[in-house]
Structure 1
Amino acid sequence: MNSTRRTVQPGLLLACAFALVAVGCTNDPGTEPPSTSPTEATSVSKPADFDPCTDIPDVVLTSEQLRKTRPENSDSAGVKTHGCGYFMLQGYDVRIVRTSVSLSDIKAKFPDSYREQQFGSRQGAYYTLFPQYGDRSCVINVAMNTGSLEFDLRNPATASKTGNLDTCQLATDLTNKIVPLIPESA
């Protein structure tokens, strides 16, 4: 009996292990497994999400006269955040971030200022994160499956376009424009 022993190159073995679940694998060293694009591989398993830097349409930003400033990302003390800062010329600025902090975490940490509010189909809450800014600061978090979406709005009295307006009303109006954009499963 004549037996032929085939060897598999180590790099191909690793590539095959990753590709086996999605597309199968051959042990022929001259054949590479078909590739899949990241969207094909993740579209089935990745739940719907909301990215505050890319998922707010221009029509909303234009209606609020907002311009994006910079990413606002961190992973500190077990709290993860991802989002962006926005500002209105001669008006308010707002930081919109997705955070791993839940409404119950916020209620436990800020029981004296925590005030629940419904925003569309989602539960939300106002609370005082920066007491030193008084009524020039308003923070709203809206519940999501993996934490919450935070709107941290500051409205200086010197802002000629918005300084005379109620800061929490500005935050509420913006929140009400953005909440409907969040996928139900996010």
Structure 2
Amino acid sequence: MASWSGVVRGVVLGAGVVVLVSACNSGGESKGNTNSASATPTIAADVPAGFDACKDLPQALIQSEKLKNKGADTTDRPGGMKWRGCIWVQSDGYAGTIDTTNITLAMVRANKDFTVDEELTVAGRAALTSHVTGQDPHADCVINVEMTSGSLEISINNPPSAKLTASQHSCEIAKRLAEQIVPAIPATL
């Protein structure tokens, strides 16, 4: 079975060009001339710098959630899409990736392979939860929280077999984590 991040990245890979074109055509983030029919959408060259999703998580969060760092999550995809962070697991519970990415909220909204579940604000920043269309959002959910030139992305996989957390909705887990992580992100990011 593929991990949530693998599924997300696979869908993004397959739809990467569509995402970028859709973002441009739907009023999403584009640095081009808005009056030009040939405006080219851009993606930041790298993920937002200044917050390390492997080292900068609040210790209180790691302890309260009983998270264990299972290693780096470093992914580069065609079109310049990047993720930098770590894989975190809770024994007998959920697993997830916590990354900074150069994927913007507008790009997530524009991707027809994703269903946006909720638009919200986390610690003063715009955010949204989503899942791959056709998948069960109770088990698999992503929250993207706005950062300059990208977002903080928390992908949660909470299968029905997770003894400690199966009764929890994956989006609620993602939001709970985001509420504790986002205040640790420098305001300039």
Q: What's the CA shift string for 1:5-54, capped at 9, x where partnerless?
A: xxxxxxxxxxxxxxxxxxxxxxxxxxxxxxxxxxxxxxxxxx96211011
Which amino acid in structure 2 is aligned with residue 103 of structure 1?
L
User: Cα RMSD over matched residues?
Assistant: 1.8
Q: Distance in 1 between matches of 2:106 and 2:183?
A: 22
Structure 1, unmatched stretches of 5+, are: 1-46
Counterpart mapping for 1:6-45 below 5 A: none
How far apart, CA to CA, are the structure 2 residues paired with 1:161 and 1:183? 32
**Aligned partners of 1:67 and 1:130: how far apart in 2?**
29
TM-score by length of 1: 0.70
Higher relative contact order (CA 8 A, sep 6+): 2
Q: C-alpha deviations, 1:66-89, integer Å up to 9, x for none?
A: 000010112211101100000000
Normalising by structure 2, what TM-score?
A: 0.69
Shift of 1:165: 1.6
In structure 1, the residue matched to 2:148 is: 145
Partners of 1:170 and 1:118 in 2: CA distance: 15
Aligned residues: 140
Q: Which amino acid aligns with 2:65?
A: E
Specify the alignment match of 1:101 in structure 2: 103
Letter in 2 for 1:161: L
SS of 1:128's partner is strand
TM-superposition CA deviations, 1:104-124 (whole Å, max 9, x none): 111111487223111111000
Contact 1:94 1:154 in 2 (8 A): yes
Aligned in 2, Cα 1:158/1:121: closer, same or farther, shift over 3 Å?
same
Structure 2 CA distance for partners of 1:129 and 1:112, relative to 1, 3 Å: closer
Q: Distance in 2 between matches of 1:117 and 1:110?
A: 20
Structure 1 150/130 Cα, relative in aligned 2: closer, same or farther at 3 Å? farther
C-alpha distance in structure 2 between counterparts of 1:162 and 1:127, whole Å: 19
Q: Provide the C-alpha distance between the structure 1 equivalents of 2:171 and 2:99, rounded to a whole number of angstroms.
A: 17
CA distance in 1 between counterparts of 2:114 and 2:155 reads 18
Residues 130 and 137 in structure 1, CA contact (< 8 A), matched pair in contact too? no
Amino acid at match of 1:87: V
Output the CA distance in 2 between the equivalents of 1:157 and 1:112. Answer: 21
Task: Verify: 1:63 aligned to 2:61, yes or no.
Answer: no
Instruction: Give the residue type in structure 2 aligned to 1:93.
Output: A
Distance 1:177 1:110, change over 3 A: farther
Q: Which amino acid aligns with 1:154?
A: N
Which structure has the highest strand share of the two? Answer: 2
Residue 170 of structure 2: aligned partner: 167
Alignment match, 2:50:
49
Instruction: Provide runs of 4+ in structure 1 moved above 6 Å.
Output: none
Contact between 1:48 and 1:185, CA under 8 Å: does it hold in 2?
A: no
Bigger Rg, structure 1 or 2:
1
CA contact (8 A) 1:128 1:138 kept: yes
Identity of aligned residues (%): 33
Q: Tell whether the 8 Å contact from 2:108 to 2:114 is kept in structure 1 after alignment.
A: no
Tell me, which stretches of 5 or more residues in structure 2 are unaligned?
A: 1-47
By how many angstroms is 1:134 displaced? 4.1
